[in-house]
Amino acid sequence: MITASAPGKVILFGEHSVVYGRPAIAAPVFNVSASAQIEAGGPGFRVIAPDLARDFWLRDALPDEPLAAAIRAALAHFTLDELPPGTLTVQSTIPLGRGLGSGAAISAAVVRALAGFLGRSLSPADVSALVFEVEKLHHGTPSGIDNTVIAFAQPVYFIKERPIQRLRVARPFTLVIGDTGVVAPTRRVVGALRQRWQANPQRYEGYFDEIAVIARHAKLAIEQEVVAVSALGKLMDENQEILEAMGVSSPELAGLIAAARAAGAWGAKLSGAGGGGNMIALVPPEIVAAVQTALVAAGASGVIVTEIR
């Protein structure tokens, strides 16, 4: 039996503007993960993914089936036409469609498991490139940040189409991640923003430039011991204000963000595509429990506490 996994992720700064060439910061979230197992044998290659309500034979897969796309991308990489018989089982504890990278993590786990099954090796850069191929099918215009942070499993300062820059975290910090429970497909939110950008490029380019300045300051604050961690919270609040002006927040996100701030968070913002999904709050370690309680009281469907290091 071959087993492989990949973590979830949060975007700390710069979602959306990263699609338009501005820098962004993301980090893996190891509290949640996707896993893929392959057992050899059987009359063909079968794919079972209970969380995604999928159970199919690879030969019968529909052209737009994302799990089959990940398998085909890996086969093409290994220059193989077909797989030996086996059963691939995919599971994930990452909430689906809520900005925590479930799609990219599932694809990463699948291509890693296939490499193991075929006795081949894949570098993190190979995994990232394969997952990016699948992301393009789902999202249309992905920046590449999700596949990069998930494949390398390290905090990154990311600029589209540039080599990966690992981010050195001078002092670990704690995030509380609150789930609105609202599913918001990245493709839809990114597509709607693209239409607004096309209608008013000057305004949106201005927003993206402001977020780029925030992301650069945040990089310095994360990397340098001399800057107080709490300064990152202020930058999160500033980033959130612009995301709201861009129309990618939601009443549910705003409610959880306000609750976290009222409970004493240093700052809070949506994370990922927005429109629903998850928010993150930067909190002093001693008030983690209070922020957790406040988020649940404000309607969070799930709360994760994670340390970025």
| Catalytic residue status for 60 | no
When the beta carbons of 120 and 188 are compared against ligand MEV, the nearer one is 188
Q: Cβ 291 to ligand MEV, closest distance in Å?
A: 23
Binding mask 249-288 for ligand MEV (x = CB under 6 A): -----------------------xx---------------
When the beta carbons of 221 and 246 are compared against ligand MEV, the nearer one is 246
Cross-strand bridge partners of residue 304: 177
Does 15 bind ligand MEV (CB under 6 A)? Our answer is yes
Q: Cβ 189 to ligand MEV, closest distance in Å?
A: 7
When the beta carbons of 186 and 292 are compared against ligand MEV, the nearer one is 186
Q: Which two tokens stand for residue 126?
A: 């190979």
State the DSSP code for 143. -
Q: Cβ 247 to ligand MEV, closest distance in Å?
A: 13
Dihedral sign of CA atoms 121, 123, 129, 134 in order? positive
Catalytic residue among 146, 179, 209, 237: 146
Q: Do 77 and 33 contact (CB within 8 A), yes or no?
A: no
Binding mask 154-193 for ligand MEV (x = CB under 6 A): --------------------------------x---x---
Q: Do 67 and 102 contact (CB within 8 A), yes or no?
A: no
Q: Cβ 197 to ligand MEV, closest distance in Å?
A: 13
Interatomic CA distance for residues 86 and 17, integer angstroms:
42
Report how many residues bind ligand MEV under the rule CB under 6 A: 15
Residues 6+ apart with CB under 8 A from 252: 180, 181, 182, 276, 299
Cross-strand bridge partners of residue 305: 176
When the beta carbons of 257 and 287 are compared against ligand MEV, the nearer one is 257
Rounded to 5°, angle at Cα 14 from 12 and 15? 90
Q: Cβ 161 to ligand MEV, closest distance in Å?
A: 12
Residues constituting the chain: 309
Picking from 149, 111, 108, the residue whose alpha carbon sits closest to that of residue 18 is 149
Helix (H, G, I), strand (E, B) or coil at 225: coil
Question: Which residues carry out catalysis?
Answer: 146
List residues binding ligand MEV (CB under 6 A). Answer: 11, 15-16, 18-19, 99, 139, 142-143, 145-146, 186, 190, 272-273
